[in-house]
Structure 1
Amino acid sequence: MKAQILVLYKKGIGKKRIAQILGISKNTVKGVVRTDQAGPSLVVPGKSSSESCEADWSSSIDWEKVREELGHRYATIRCLHAEHAPAGDDYLRFWRELKRSIPTDPAERARIRFQHKPGQRVEIDYCDGIGVTDRKTGATKKTHLSAGVSSFSDYTFGEFSVTQKREEFIASQDRMHYFFAGVLPYLVVDNLKSGVSQAHIYDPDVNPVYIDYANHMEFAVLPARPRTPRDKPSIEGNIGVIQRQFFAETRNRVFYSLGELNVCFREYLKRLNNEVMKDYGVTRAERFATEKPLLKPLPAVAFETAEYRTAKVHPDCHIQVEKNFYSVPYRFIRETRLRMRNLNRHWP
């Protein structure tokens, strides 16, 4: 391209006309001509000065090591740029060169951009949390971050818990719905055992207790496909934001209780939901306010958590549940298909 510009310019064709012929901007033509008129410089034979500089810059970076570190869970291109690129180097150039150096199939790069309707869908997911330290022993207990986000507005809820067990999983979602002050009709959930008993790309089995909860709240469960984060891009993106912001802000802080950690995180969520988003020019809270009237009302009664078990009927026509015996019809003797449902009232 640069050679063509110089050939046309030396033929006496004006810069504006050259830009029209080659379909480029006039400033690009001016820059090439200005560089040529500045005089010769040390270049690699057969290459322009800019190509030579580009080659020198590229060879100064260990791209193989960069690509290897990019596979790390929390590594970002911006972080790798700061560590491997020369001081003061342009981030965009580093990003383009890295993308060029990673061979990909064009089909793998194809994406579908979802246009989410307001008040339709919420996505939830877990990730590793921030450790809580015991004041007496100094031992650190692992936590998990449970987060939920409206697909339309990106309005975000989250809290830290000690486990991902079914009781905490459902309790966290209860608090999410009360945080939203309503229920969205579709909920996309990751394939953790508390929500999905058996993951499958076409026909997953949803946990029966979770089905009860979904029926109580009146939403449909949409399990994401296994190892397919693109099925829930909103929550994946927002968890990334939380990790880069909140996790980074508190990396040197010690939390001594789960309550202290969650209080700090709630303050962060207020900031996050009230920050202006670059793509929309409004905050998450403002976008959520437009879809909030479309949400279903919260149920008037609390959800009762059920514990399902299968039991074999004894010859005396009884089954045993938690040291208690219950009689059943004699025709079920030695049958194992009986499923018991033990209710526990659950409050958010």
Structure 2
Amino acid sequence: MVKGQKGKTKGPRMISEIQRLKAMGLSKRMIAKSLGCSRNTVDKYLSASPDADSESPKVYRAAWSDQVKWIDVESATSRGMTLSEFWERFISLREELKDVSYLAFWREYRRRFPNIPIELHKTHPPGERCEIDYKGDSPGLGFIDRYTREYVPCRLFGSILCFSQLFFPRATLTEKQDDLLKSISEAYKYFGGVPVTSAFDNAKAAVSRAHRYDPDINKEFAHFCEHYGTAPLAMRPRKPKDKNLIENNLGVFWRWARQRIQEKTFHSLADLNDFIYELAEDFNNRTQRKYGTSRRQKFIEGEQDKLLELPSAPYSVGNWKTAKPHPDCHVQIGKNFYSIPHQHRDRLVDVRITGALIEIYRDLDCIARHIKAHDNAVGQYFTNENHLPDFHKAMREATPQQSIDQASEVGPFAEQIIKSLIEDARHPLMYLRRAQGILRLSKRYSPKALDRSSEILLSIGTKNPKLSDVEALIKNNLDSEKTNVIPIKRQSNPFLRGQEHWGNQ
């Protein structure tokens, strides 16, 4: 505003509204916020009417409003019933009030119970964003297990496209990562596409470390978003209005669907979700009074074609762990071994384990991928020959040569066994672990016992023995040495009659 220029004079309607809100007991600050003016303006028009504080202005009330017990309306809405549901039931019982619109009913309710939240209206381009969240408390959502007859409570998941407000709900047993990712996948499938960005809160299933400006996204959740081509957006901690659409619609849907769900009995999670899907279809096809159209219609007309395409293969949820590579270019996952490129043996790697694959990452780059071994497999090696260094280069590496030098200190037969394992193999690093394990037996037992067992193995033509065979042979040799006990020689004793005495009788 230019200095010296007076503000625009408020009209009589604004002045009347200021006086009405003051009569209801609102503070000057709340009046200014609700009407979008300054506190000085409120002071100006309140002080202009000297009897404003002593005499309340006349507040308009519709003639039909006296037929409604508004205390009962407030009591019903405080228990969870929506105002629109109360209006529908009330109109159906009063024939003389059938022409009362919901908007008029809402205005009369607000005149008696003013509640004016100040919120910034957000606009979202079509296909730009969806919001994801779990409802905090949803009592009555669950099923009765058909085998144990126990009640199993569930959690209510929700996802919404911000432009059309197309809503997808789903019941899950927990809020863990597996359930969360499966629910988001089903939401994208229901939408028929993927939004550009996906907004969510700071749950551990999605965010490893919450931060106002630079949160750390969970590895598996980041991998999930990369698979679908959407950008993850972690909202600020303790700021639910950053994703107010999903917060509000989860509450609206639950209040609308709660009675319908609790009237039925379900015996499995699948049955419960089938019914929730039917409710979601009805919910999305209902006409929104604010926009004069349904969520589904708005989605078809303005947002359906703006979504990204779904990937050809569904996402497979996995678990992550950290592994240390061995000099033989393998990492141990469970009881089996998987190869990695030899250039990455100097640092820890991240391993992603799914139901069918083992994926090995370094700095978010996938450096190896293997088919996962069966659950009962033990000691299997999954080796990609391209991951191993050249033969001559591998022979010059310190680890194989150190093993050969260490074996020469044990004995000539042990040296011959270790050389055979390293030099006669398809690759010098192929049996490096086995060679190191055999050499370690010299410390557990003795170098002499290891060399003796190696001599026996070579005598029967076994040049590439297993670690378990060598150790078993050492134990057998030690047991046989214990059984060769020197007989005890007894001195003559005049008090013992001996065997001759019994033979003469």
Same fold (TM over 0.5): yes
Report the Cα distance in structure 1 between the residues aligned to 2:276 and 2:82, rounded to whole angstroms.
26
Distance 1:317 1:112, change over 3 A: same
User: Which residue of the other structure, out of 112, 123, 129, is the alignment partner of 2:131?
Assistant: 123
List runs of 5+ in structure 1 lacking aligned partners.
1-21, 26-45, 52-60, 83-87
SS in 1 for 2:352: strand
Displacement of 1:341 after TM fit?
2.4
> Which residue number corresponds to residue 285 of structure 1?
296
SS in 2 for 1:250: helix
Report the Cα distance in structure 2 between the residues aligned to 1:311 and 1:254, rounded to whole angstroms.
47
> Which residue number corresponds to residue 265 of structure 2?
254
Report the Cα distance in structure 2 between the residues aligned to 1:268 and 1:234, rounded to whole angstroms.
19
SS in 1 for 2:287: coil
Report the Cα distance in structure 1 between the residues aligned to 2:293 and 2:106, rounded to whole angstroms.
27
Distance 1:77 1:172, change over 3 A: closer
Report the Cα distance in structure 2 between the residues aligned to 1:285 and 1:237, rounded to whole angstroms.
18
Report the Cα distance in structure 1 between the residues aligned to 2:109 and 2:305, rounded to whole angstroms.
45
> Which residue number corresponds to residue 308 of structure 1?
320
Displacement of 1:115 after TM fit?
1.3
The answer (yes or no) to whether the contact 1:255–1:261 under 8 Å persists in 2 is: yes
Report the Cα distance in structure 2 between the residues aligned to 1:203 and 1:299, rounded to whole angstroms.
28
The answer (yes or no) to whether the contact 1:302–1:345 under 8 Å persists in 2 is: no
Report the Cα distance in structure 1 between the residues aligned to 2:260 and 2:317, rounded to whole angstroms.
37
Look up the equivalent residue of 1:126 and give its one-letter code: Y
Give the share of equivalent positions with the same residue, in percent: 30
> Which residue number corresponds to residue 18 of structure 1?
none
Distance 1:253 1:319, change over 3 A: same
Report the Cα distance in structure 2 between the residues aligned to 1:235 and 1:245, rounded to whole angstroms.
15
Report the Cα distance in structure 2 between the residues aligned to 1:291 and 1:330, rounded to whole angstroms.
47
Look up the equivalent residue of 1:269 and give its one-letter code: A
Report the Cα distance in structure 1 between the residues aligned to 2:193 and 2:337, rounded to whole angstroms.
41
Q: CA RMSD in A?
A: 3.8
SS in 2 for 1:172: helix
Report the Cα distance in structure 2 between the residues aligned to 1:151 and 1:49, rounded to whole angstroms.
42
Report the Cα distance in structure 2 between the residues aligned to 1:343 and 1:280, rounded to whole angstroms.
45
Displacement of 1:228 after TM fit?
1.3
Report the Cα distance in structure 2 between the residues aligned to 1:227 and 1:295, rounded to whole angstroms.
29
User: Which residue of the other structure, out of 88, 93, 114, is the alignment partner of 2:122?
Assistant: 114
Distance 1:201 1:99, change over 3 A: farther
* Structure (1 or 2) with the larger CA radius of gyration: 2
Alignment of 1:142-161 (within 5 A): 142-161=153-172
Higher relative contact order (CA 8 A, sep 6+): 1
How many matched pairs? 273
Report the Cα distance in structure 2 between the residues aligned to 1:277 and 1:118, rounded to whole angstroms.
18
Report the Cα distance in structure 1 between the residues aligned to 2:231 and 2:329, rounded to whole angstroms.
38
Report the Cα distance in structure 2 between the residues aligned to 1:237 and 1:288, rounded to whole angstroms.
19
> Which residue number corresponds to residue 213 of structure 2?
202
Displacement of 1:299 after TM fit?
1.4
Alignment of 1:68-107 (within 5 A): 95=110, 99=114
SS in 2 for 1:178: helix
Look up the equivalent residue of 2:12 and give its one-letter code: G
Look up the equivalent residue of 2:313 and give its one-letter code: V
The answer (yes or no) to whether the contact 1:305–1:345 under 8 Å persists in 2 is: no
The answer (yes or no) to whether the contact 1:195–1:207 under 8 Å persists in 2 is: yes
The answer (yes or no) to whether the contact 2:80–2:255 under 8 Å persists in 1 is: no
Displacement of 1:50 after TM fit?
7.5
Displacement of 1:249 after TM fit?
2.2
The answer (yes or no) to whether the contact 1:125–1:146 under 8 Å persists in 2 is: yes
Report the Cα distance in structure 2 between the residues aligned to 1:296 and 1:345, rounded to whole angstroms.
27
Displacement of 1:121 after TM fit?
0.8
Look up the equivalent residue of 1:303 and give its one-letter code: Y
Task: Report the TM-score, using the length of structure 2 for normalisation.
Answer: 0.47
> Which residue number corresponds to residue 321 of structure 1?
333
Task: Report the TM-score, using the length of structure 1 for normalisation.
Answer: 0.67
Displacement of 1:137 after TM fit?
3.6
Displacement of 1:248 after TM fit?
2.4
Look up the equivalent residue of 2:332 and give its one-letter code: Q
Distance 1:263 1:331, change over 3 A: closer
User: Which residue of the other structure, out of 232, 235, 255, is the alignment partner of 1:221?
Assistant: 232
What do the CA deviations read for 1:122-164 (whole angstroms, capped 9, x no partner)? 1111124512112344321121111111101011112111122
> Which residue number corresponds to residue 188 of structure 1?
199
